[in-house]
């Protein structure tokens, strides 16, 4: 059997990390099983759905490099299909018109709640055989007795009493179908046989199973993954800080790192923490998904991002880094120079923002010294070392780490200064800061021309500040 999964976001906002996680589970499972992954946009609620949200969802999925085999399907364009199914239900007696007012039902619910029971529709119109009227809704005639069992891949068998369910609405008075109904019709008509979704849908599942049964369709396999919670252990939401996928892109995270983190939150593969995209596809199975909700931990995501930055090839990283460099006004392009810049930075950057900031000095013609750095290290005592370095480097043709080390050694001997006393002033001269990659590394990457002019500028700066 070919596994067919789907991701059905409703376009009422950006794609948040929780949604991305369920998308990921479905996508990974389909890829792992050599199946199909379908994207469906659930926009039956015309009032709340927006094109901007649709675009935002696509943007996020593309950045995550989650691709789909079919779709995107839009439910708003499938109303005729739902209509025929509703008619089928009406004809077979599985559904009926109801003219009870919302006010009346609200009161009913409140009374039931006050009496300690479950608020549900009492079935007033159930057997009245009402015809269609302008304000009528269509309700599903749900079985009143017996049980409905959800055989969940993750949670096991869960028994629901049918008496807990009421005759829910499948078609609104304005003629539009509702969620539980369209999901079932879509999943059936699209051939979905594996439904992996958030825990919050577990209570909807018995209703959907009733619909499958009424239609005589075989059930898909259900898997309800636990929620992602915020630090305060409530469902992750805006007040927990950044929750949109693209926000993480903008904060300098790598898509592979986010994916790794999100999947690992609630899924495990022994003690392994770091996974490439390919490894995830190879190793992801539903059996290893945990049952308990997980708290979204920014710290761990950050650490994982650092690991992915370290592991990525410079060439691969440049695609992701370039936008951040351009944003900072750097004239940079993919190539050997950028590769070597990245190599000096990747062990000391947790995000692409760190990396872009750290790379700034490579691209600046005129180095601006940080005030404190200049005050501490660009002083007359270093003048002699600077002069000797300039002389030595002038006669050096190839700037290899080895050769540079020898040059510094010589200057150390001649001036009697320790490496630290020379390296820090040089660092400030070359980068403007007291923190940077290794001194030999940056000299090599910067190249003779840049190094010479920056050293000379520093000498000039020291002389100028003397007077």
Partner RNA sequence: GGUCCCAUCGUCUAGCGGUCAGGACACCGGCCUCUCACGCCGGUAACAGGGGUUCAAUUCCCCUUGGGAUCACCA
Is residue 238 annotated as part of the catalytic site, yes or no?
yes
Query: Which residue has tokens 């976001």?
Result: 9
Tell me: does residue 147 bind RNA (CB under 7 A): no
Tell me: does residue 144 bind RNA (CB under 7 A): no
Max CA separation in the chain (angstroms): 105
Query: What would the two tokens of residue 429 be?
Result: 């001269």
Tell me: does residue 174 bind RNA (CB under 7 A): yes
Q: How many residues lie near RNA (CB under 7 A)?
A: 84
**By C-beta, is 203 or 456 nearer to RNA?**
203
One residue of 80, 91, 299, 466 binding RNA per CB under 7 A: 299
Q: Which segment (250-258, 260-268, 319-327, 330-338) binds RNA by CB under 7 A?
A: 260-268
Q: Coil, strand or helix: which one is 138?
A: strand
Tell me: does residue 360 bind RNA (CB under 7 A): no
Query: Which residue has tokens 């090599």?
Result: 444
Q: Are 154 and 286 in contact (CB under 8 A)?
A: yes
Nearest C-alpha neighbor of 347 from the set 388, 383, 317, 384: 317
Tell me: does residue 126 bind RNA (CB under 7 A): no
150: β partners: 158
- Rg of the chain (C-alpha set): 32
Q: Which segment (64-72, 81-89, 168-176, 215-223) binds RNA by CB under 7 A?
A: 168-176
**By C-beta, is 216 or 392 nearer to RNA?**
392
In angstroms, the CA 365 to CA 126 distance is 80
One residue of 80, 84, 145, 159 binding RNA per CB under 7 A: 159
Sign for the CA dihedral angle at 264, 265, 266, 270 comes to positive
**By C-beta, is 51 or 292 nearer to RNA?**
292
* Closest distance to RNA from the beta carbon of 394 (Å): 21
One residue of 87, 268, 313, 316 binding RNA per CB under 7 A: 268
Tell me: does residue 357 bind RNA (CB under 7 A): no
40: β partners: 73
Tell me: does residue 146 bind RNA (CB under 7 A): no
Q: Which segment (61-69, 211-219, 302-310, 383-391) binds RNA by CB under 7 A?
A: 302-310
Tell me: does residue 420 bind RNA (CB under 7 A): yes
* Closest distance to RNA from the beta carbon of 85 (Å): 15
**215 burial type by CB count under 10 A (0-12 exposed, 13-18 middle, 19+ buried):** middle
In angstroms, the CA 316 to CA 322 distance is 11
Q: Are 88 and 184 in contact (CB under 8 A)?
A: no
Nearest C-alpha neighbor of 42 from the set 4, 1, 75, 19: 75
**By C-beta, is 156 or 216 nearer to RNA?**
156
Q: Which segment (79-87, 385-393, 417-425, 449-457) binds RNA by CB under 7 A?
A: 417-425
Task: Centre a 10 Å sphere on the Cβ of residue 457 and count the other Cβ atoms it contains.
Answer: 15
Tell me: does residue 169 bind RNA (CB under 7 A): yes
Task: Centre a 10 Å sphere on the Cβ of residue 249 and count the other Cβ atoms it contains.
Answer: 19
Look at strands 156-161 and 147-152 and give their pairing.
antiparallel
In angstroms, the CA 447 to CA 398 distance is 9
The angle formed by the CA atoms of residues 328, 330 and 331, to the nearest 5 degrees, is: 150
Query: Which listed residue (118, 132, 238, 372) is catalytic?
Result: 238
Q: Which segment (52-60, 364-372, 434-442, 450-458) binds RNA by CB under 7 A?
A: 434-442
**By C-beta, is 329 or 373 nearer to RNA?**
373
Tell me: does residue 92 bind RNA (CB under 7 A): no
Tell me: does residue 203 bind RNA (CB under 7 A): yes
Q: Coil, strand or helix: which one is 295?
A: strand
* Closest distance to RNA from the beta carbon of 337 (Å): 20
Tell me: does residue 434 bind RNA (CB under 7 A): yes
CA distances from 451 to 76, 386, 429, 446, 456 (A): 62, 11, 9, 6, 9
One residue of 190, 295, 452, 459 binding RNA per CB under 7 A: 295
Q: Binding string to RNA for residues 5 to 34, with x set by CB under 7 A, is what?
A: ---x-x-x----------------------
Q: Which segment (63-71, 221-229, 311-319, 375-383) binds RNA by CB under 7 A?
A: 221-229
**By C-beta, is 113 or 368 nearer to RNA?**
113
Q: Are 170 and 180 in contact (CB under 8 A)?
A: yes
Tell me: does residue 72 bind RNA (CB under 7 A): no
Tell me: does residue 202 bind RNA (CB under 7 A): yes
In angstroms, the CA 130 to CA 96 distance is 7
Catalytic positions, written as ranges = 238
């Amino acid at each position: 059997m070919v596994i067919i999964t789907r991701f059905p976001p409703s376009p009422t906002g950006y794609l948040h990390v929780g949604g991305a996680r369920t998308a990921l589970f479905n996508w990974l499972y389909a890829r792992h099983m050599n199946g199909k992954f379908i994207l469906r946009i659930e926009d039956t609620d015309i009032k709340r759905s927006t094109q901007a949200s649709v675009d935002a969802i696509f943007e996020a999925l593309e950045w995550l490099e989650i691709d789909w085999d079919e779709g995107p399907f839009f439910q708003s364009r499938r109303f005729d299909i739902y209509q025929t199914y509703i008619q089928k239900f009406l004809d077979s007696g599985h559904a009926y018109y109801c003219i009870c007012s919302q006010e009346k039902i609200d009161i009913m619910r409140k009374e039931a709640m006050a009496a300690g029971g479950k608020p549900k529709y009492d079935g007033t119109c159930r057997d009245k055989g009402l015809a269609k009227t302008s304000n009528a809704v269509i309700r599903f005639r749900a079985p009143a007795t017996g049980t409905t069992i959800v055989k969940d891949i993750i949670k096991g068998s869960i028994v629901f009493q049918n008496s807990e369910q009421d005759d829910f609405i499948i078609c609104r008075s304005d003629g539009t179908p509702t969620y539980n109904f369209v999901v079932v019709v879509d999943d059936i008509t699209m051939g979905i046989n594996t439904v992996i979704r958030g825990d919050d849908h577990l209570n909807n599942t018995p209703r959907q199973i009733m619909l499958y049964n009424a239609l005589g369709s075989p059930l898909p396999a259900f898997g309800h993954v636990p929620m992602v919670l915020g630090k305060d252990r409530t469902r992750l939401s805006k007040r927990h800080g950044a929750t949109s996928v693209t926000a993480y892109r903008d904060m300098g995270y790598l898509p592979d790192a986010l994916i790794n983190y999100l999947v690992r939150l609630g899924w495990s593969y022994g003690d392994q923490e770091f996974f490439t995209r390919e490894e995830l596809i190879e190793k992801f199975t539903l059996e290893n998904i945990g049952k308990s909700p997980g708290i979204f931990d920014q710290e761990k995501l950050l650490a994982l991002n650092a690991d992915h930055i370290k592991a990525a090839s410079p060439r691969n990283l440049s695609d992701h880094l370039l936008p951040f460099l351009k944003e900072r006004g750097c004239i940079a392009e993919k190539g050997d120079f950028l590769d070597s810049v990245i190599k000096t930075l990747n062990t000391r950057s947790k995000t692409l923002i760190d990396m872009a900031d750290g790379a700034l000095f490579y691209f600046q013609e005129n180095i601006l010294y940080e005030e404190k750095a200049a005050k501490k290290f660009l002083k007359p005592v270093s003048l002699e070392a600077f002069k000797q370095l300039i002389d030595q480097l002038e006669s050096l043709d190839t700037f290899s780490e080895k050769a540079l080390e020898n040059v510094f050694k010589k200057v150390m001997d001649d001036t009697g200064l320790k490496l630290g006393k020379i390296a820090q002033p040089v660092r400030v001269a070359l980068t403007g800061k007291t923190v940077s990659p290794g001194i030999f590394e940056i000299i090599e990457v910067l190249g003779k021309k840049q190094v010479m002019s920056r050293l000379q500028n520093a000498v000039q700066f020291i002389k100028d500040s003397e007077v």
